Amino acid sequence: MRLADERGSAVAEFTMVAGLLVVLVLSVMQLSLALHVRATVADAAAEGARHASLVGADASAGVVRTRQLITMAIGASYAEQVSASTATVAGLETIEIRVAAPLPVFGLIGPTALEVTGHAPVETLG
């Protein structure tokens, strides 16, 4: 009699476990995408700062290079807010490239934007 009472329970168990597993897999994929965007934007900002710090280059060259790298890697919508400035750090003139980009987050959990900065000392001759 007990076997008859449990008829169909495997289907219900599978449905509940499969639902949880799908949510877990999608969450891991979402986290991976957000980390990929963050790493790509940070690398592009650092490369743009290095490019702008070369002898004969200016800050606008770093902004252009940063936008190119971000656009090639993840899309133009992530390269809309790129700015450059100069600062003095430990007595050295440095170029700072700042990028504000949207963070691809599903739903209302977590931040919706990220801001990263890349620095490089300005090269001089002599």
45-96 pLDDT per residue, tens: 999 999 999 998 999 999 999 999 999 999 999 999 999 999 998 889 999 9
pLDDT surpasses 80 at 1:
no
Report the alpha-carbon distance of residue 32 to residue 46 in Å, rounded.
21
pLDDT, average across residues 92-109? 86
Q: What is the dihedral of CA 67, 69, 75, 80, to 10 degrees?
A: -10
pLDDT surpasses 70 at 108:
no
Longest dimension (CA), the chain: 94
Six-digit token pair at 46? 């650092």
The residues near 66 (Cβ < 8 Å, ≥ 6 apart) are 44, 45, 47, 48, 79, 82, 97, 99, 118
pLDDT surpasses 90 at 110:
no
> What stretch of H or E contains 101?
strand 92-102
Sequence letter at residue 89: V
**Least-confidence region, from 22-31, 33-42, 45-54, 103-112:** 103-112
CB count in 10 Å sphere of residue 50: 19
Query: Helix, strand or coil for residue 94?
Result: strand
Sequence letter at residue 32: S
The residues near 4 (Cβ < 8 Å, ≥ 6 apart) are none
